[in-house]
């Protein structure tokens, strides 16, 4: 697997809203230093991008025209990001990272794995590690935090301290993962979904869908709502 956070030109995989939002954030870090030479869209290609004015290519065209240019994966959904990542690795592509090491508010020991994209507004504490293909737009990731492969930490969420986030977890905007302890970190199980504004106080099982404050499985909130309606 090849990856790099050092580049002057990139190809962006993704062409729509999420990709454009992330590119706007990346430009705060790049300051005009990095040029997007092309974008990749598997469904609609063969034209110029209406906003950036660069060619929109198929995967085969990317491989033919820009085989050595790093590729940033800026598609939004976790299953799609994961599939694109593994497809690009199989093609021998160099996966681009967006690393904020060296920026104010980011601990110098932070570990960014292959294909991680981290927004420049995220503050990160010590002893923090991000797995491959993660997308980090959180306001804060505190200390002693591990984030599993392909997890998404959305804008304005807060991940405090002593927390273990499993692979492919999706934490929605405004959610808060409260503090664990060194002896008992809070664990968010693989594939869990934490809803908008949810406040997580304890462990979350793998695959659970949590909402509310305090965060509970959706079915429990529905049961509680039914009880209130019947009062």
* Catalytic site includes residue 162: no
User: How far is residue 121's CA from residue 103's CA, in Å, rounded to a whole number?
Assistant: 10
The residue annotated as part of the active site, out of 47, 86, 143, 162, is 143
User: How far is residue 89's CA from residue 222's CA, in Å, rounded to a whole number?
Assistant: 42
Q: Give the list of residues 6+ apart from residue 193 with CB closer than 8 angstroms, or none.
A: 169, 170, 172, 208, 209, 210
Q: Are 179 and 160 in contact (CB under 8 A)?
A: yes
CA dihedral of 143, 145, 150, 156, whole degrees rounded to 10: -50
Catalytic residues: 143
């Amino acid at each position: 697997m090849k990856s790099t956070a050092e580049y002057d030109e990139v190809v962006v995989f993704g062409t729509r809203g999420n990709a454009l939002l992330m590119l706007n954030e990346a430009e705060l870090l790049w300051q005009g230093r990095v040029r997007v030479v092309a974008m990749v869209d598997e469904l609609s290609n063969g034209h110029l991008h209406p906003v950036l004015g660069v060619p929109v290519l198929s995967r085969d065209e990317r491989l033919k025209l820009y085989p050595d240019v790093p590729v940033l994966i800026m598609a939004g959904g976790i299953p799609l990001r994961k599939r694109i990542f593994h497809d690009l690795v199989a093609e021998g592509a160099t996966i681009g990272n967006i690393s904020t090491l060296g920026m104010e508010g980011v601990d110098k020991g932070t570990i960014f794995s292959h294909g991680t994209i981290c927004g420049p507004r995220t503050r990160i504490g010590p002893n923090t590690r991000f797995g491959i293909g993660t997308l980090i737009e959180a306001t804060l990731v505190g200390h002693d935090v591990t984030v599993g492969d392909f997890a998404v930490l959305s804008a304005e969420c807060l991940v405090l301290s002593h927390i273990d986030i499993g692979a492919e977890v999706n934490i929605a905007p405004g959610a808060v993962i409260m503090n664990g302890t060194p002896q008992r970190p809070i664990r968010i199980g693989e594939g869990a979904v934490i809803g908008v504004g949810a406040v997580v106080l304890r462990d979350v099982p793998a695959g659970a869908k949590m909402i509310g404050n305090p965060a509970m499985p959706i079915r429990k909130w529905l049961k509680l709502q039914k009880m209130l309606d019947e009062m």
